[in-house]
Amino acid sequence: MMQLIPAIDIIEGRCVRLKKGDFASVTVYDYEPDDLVATFYRSGLTQIHCVDLDGARKRCPVNLSALKKMVASAPVKIEWGGGITSSADIHTILSLGAERIVAGSAAATDTELVKNWLREFGPDKIVVGADIRDFKIAVHGWSDTSDWNLNDFLAFWLKEGAKYFLCTDISRDGLLKGPAVDLYKQLKKQFPEAFLIASGGVSCYDDLVELEKAGVDAAIIGKAFYEGKISLNEMQTFIAHAS
């Protein structure tokens, strides 16, 4: 059963979406993050993916007051990323009620640091972010590209004990042109032990069906929901079908 995880991206406490990670292409939506969490929960969606975009730019957590409100609004499991650079950041975010954090840039730029996080917090609390541009791992809000290629990156972190991987195809993010199904199928074949969370490009119900067929463990739904391409009813239908 593939899990559905709605995404909430936050700038200055507001729900937004970027196009291909470009901060110059911001769409602001008329939703309060905590109200959205409650709405998702009432629809049977119990996991939420949140990105503190201010934090990603400033390289430190910023929208923690929004996290606190979201946690208070419904008993959901929140996956939180953006600007996390220290164990202290993780302690703060988990203490506010997040279920786990996303180690994005740090996993590519400071492997010893993230190894320590895995030892300190355990693999159930750390999601390794694999943001891909031309099969390389992008960092720092996707503004830079590292020397890591995707396969080596996943193999390295699986060996280090990581369990969850959030794989985002930047070229498809926010474009509603369909996810990289073939890529995810290849990754699940090569790394069947990885819990693979697919992100980027989901545009309709059929995309979810194709991702499930590819063996993906969970799928992020972002702009498709905000632009009315996938409704809450369709997400509920998928959950009922998958279960």
User: Residues 2, 212: contact at Cβ < 8 Å?
Assistant: yes
| Single-letter code of the amino acid located at 62 | V
3-state SS, residue 174: coil
Nearest to 224, CA basis, from 3, 5, 13: 5
Structure tokens at 118: 């895995």
- For residue 95, give every residue at least 6 positions away whose Cβ sits within 8 Å of its Cβ, in sequence order, or none: none
Of 9, 52, 89, 217, the active-site residue reads 9
Report in angstroms the alpha-carbon separations of 88 from 22, 50, 68, 79, 227.
28, 19, 17, 17, 36
Indicate the DSSP class of residue 63.
Answer: -
User: Residues 81, 5: contact at Cβ < 8 Å?
Assistant: no
* Gap between the Cα atoms of 185 and 39, Å rounded: 31
Note if 131 is an active site residue: yes
Of 34, 131, 169, 173, the active-site residue reads 131
Active site residues: 9, 131
